[in-house]
Amino acid sequence: MTDYGHDLLFGTFTTPTVQPVRQAVDLAVVADRAGLDLVTFQDHPYQPRFHDTWTLLSYVAARTERVHLSANVLNLPLRPPAVTARSAASLDLLSGGRFELGIGAGAFWDAIEAMGGRRLSPGQAITALEEAIQIIREVWAADKPGGVRLDGEYYRVNGAKRGPAPAHDVNVWIGAYKPRMLRLVGRVADGWLPSLPYFQGGPADLVAMNERIDEAAAAAGREPTQIRRLLNISGEFASTGRSLLNGPPEQWAEDLAGLTLEYGVSAFILMADDPATIELFAAEVAPATRQLVAEERARAGR
């Protein structure tokens, strides 16, 4: 039983398809109006059937009012960190503090290389991600004296000017599964952003991974509660309960409350490409889950 006690967030993971051109935008507007907390898009810059995720996030930010936005997760190898830092701060400023930085080390190296990116081994890519996060945070630290310098193995920044600072404390969320990445999450991230369908053992896999993150956090002198646990989920609404996240909204709420109270997940990002599912998730699942978790936390005196 691990509950890190964060407020719950509910969001969408929508396919950034280019055809129909505005589908992803329209679904984001649905999520915004339905009162969800977060709209996210996967980022595969080598995939011409998808919009460029940065462009889409910026455009969607301009078309929405309240919802926060993030890539899920940003493809670092094709997005240089110094530009990403400034772009992220800019989008946060333009949107009034609604941008969060979900970022990943990259995968699909053949496709990255085909686009002119540099192929890295998984281990190298983790080091590169750590360097990139350092550069990004340094660029955002506009008030620190001196330019940004980092003579990393994969990124070199030599006296770049700092700033702009984002409008709010932008969260850095990392998509991670393997031990080294999980340790990186514990050391430097504000959140961990995996996908439930990737867990071969189901939600039970969260236990060992949470432990690794918590250990790494403690070793770095951080509290495990400094790291929000987010989760991409998929499911189906059905009139009768069949399995985890396959059943009526009340059952979804119980399933999700269980994930919060037992596994510490405090942000649920639903893979959904239709307005009805998004609206049902926002109108019925989110409030019921919040209520169940609040009741249980109150009962447990947390």
Partner 1 sequence: MSGNYGHRLEFGTLVTPVNASPDNPVALARRSEALGYDLVTFADDPDQPAHLDTWTLLAWVAGRTDRIHLAANVLTVPLRSPAVIARSAASLDLLSGGRLELALGAGDRGPDGLAAVAARGGARLDPRAAVDALGESVDVVRAVLDAGDPDPVHYDGEHHRLDGAPRGPLPAHHIPIWLGGTDPRLLRLVGAKADGWLGTLDPAEPDAVRTSNKIIDEAAREAGRDPAEIRRLLNVTGRFAATRQGFLHGPATGWVDDLLPLVVENGVGTIVLTTDDMATMERFAREVAPALREAADRALPAPLPRTAQRGRAVRVKRRPGIAYDEVPASLADRAVEPGDIDYAKVRSNYLRGGAPGLVLRPRTPAEVADALTFARAHRHLPLGIRSGGHGISGRSTNDGGIVIDVGGINGIEVLDEDARLVRIGPGARWMDVAAALAPHGWALTSGDYGGVGVGGLATAGGVGWLARKHGLTIDHLRAVELVLADGRVVRASETENADLFWAVRGAGANFGVVTAFEFEADEVGPVGWAQFALDAGDPAGLLTRWGAAVEAAPRDLTSAIIMGPPRMGQPAVAQVMAMVDSDDPATIVAQLQPVADVAPGYDQQVVITSYASVMANASDAPHQAQGEPISRTGLIEHLTPEFAAAAARLLASGVVYFFHIRSIGGAVTDVDPDAMAWSHRNANFHVTAFGRHRARLDALWDGLLAEHLRGTYLSFETDLRPERLAEAFPPRTLARLRTLKERYDPDGLFRDNFAITPDTASRTTP
Compute the least distance from the CB of residue 30 to partner 1, in Å: 16
Cα–Cα distance for residue pair 169/173, rounded to 1 Å: 12
Compute the least distance from the CB of residue 140 to partner 1, in Å: 11
State which of residues 3, 12, 71, 81 lies at the interface with partner 1 (CB under 8 A): 81
Using the rule CB under 8 A, is 239 a contact of partner 1?
A: no
State which of residues 59, 109, 199, 237 lies at the interface with partner 1 (CB under 8 A): 59
Compute the least distance from the CB of residue 117 to partner 1, in Å: 7
Q: Which stretch binds partner 1 (CB under 8 A): 6-14, 81-89, 220-228, 278-286?
A: 81-89
Q: What distance lies between CA 144 and its chain's CA centroid?
A: 27
State which of residues 10, 41, 54, 263 lies at the interface with partner 1 (CB under 8 A): 54
CB-based contacts of 248-254 (< 8 A; 24+ apart in sequence): 249/280, 249/284, 249/285, 249/288, 250/284, 250/288, 252/281, 252/284, 252/285, 252/288, 252/289, 253/284, 253/285, 253/288, 253/289, 253/291, 253/292, 254/292
Between 140 and 192, CB nearer to partner 1: 140
Q: Residue 290 is inside which H or E element, if any?
A: helix 286-299
Between 87 and 260, CB nearer to partner 1: 87
Q: Name every residue whose Cβ is closer than 8 Å to that of residue 179 and which is 6 or more positions away in sequence.
A: 212
Q: Residue 11 is inside which H or E element, if any?
A: strand 9-14
Buried b (16+ CB within 10 A) or exposed e, 19-48: eeeebbbebbbbbbbbebbbbbbbbbbbbe
Using the rule CB under 8 A, is 156 a contact of partner 1?
A: yes
State which of residues 26, 35, 94, 215 lies at the interface with partner 1 (CB under 8 A): 94
State which of residues 15, 26, 33, 52 lies at the interface with partner 1 (CB under 8 A): 52
90 CB burial (10 A radius; 0-12, 13-18, 19+): middle
Pick the closest to residue 97 from 165, 149, 21 (CA basis).
165
| Contact pattern from residue 6 through residue 45 relative to partner 1, giving x for each residue in contact according to CB under 8 A and a dash for the rest | ------------xxxxx--x-------------------x
Contact 182, 192 (CB under 8 A): yes
Compute the least distance from the CB of residue 61 to partner 1, in Å: 6
Using the rule CB under 8 A, is 164 a contact of partner 1?
A: yes
Using the rule CB under 8 A, is 157 a contact of partner 1?
A: yes
State which of residues 66, 141, 153, 161 lies at the interface with partner 1 (CB under 8 A): 161
Using the rule CB under 8 A, is 145 a contact of partner 1?
A: no
Site residues for partner 1 per CB under 8 A: 18-22, 25, 45-49, 51-52, 54-63, 78-83, 86-87, 89-91, 93-95, 111, 113-117, 135, 142, 147, 155-164
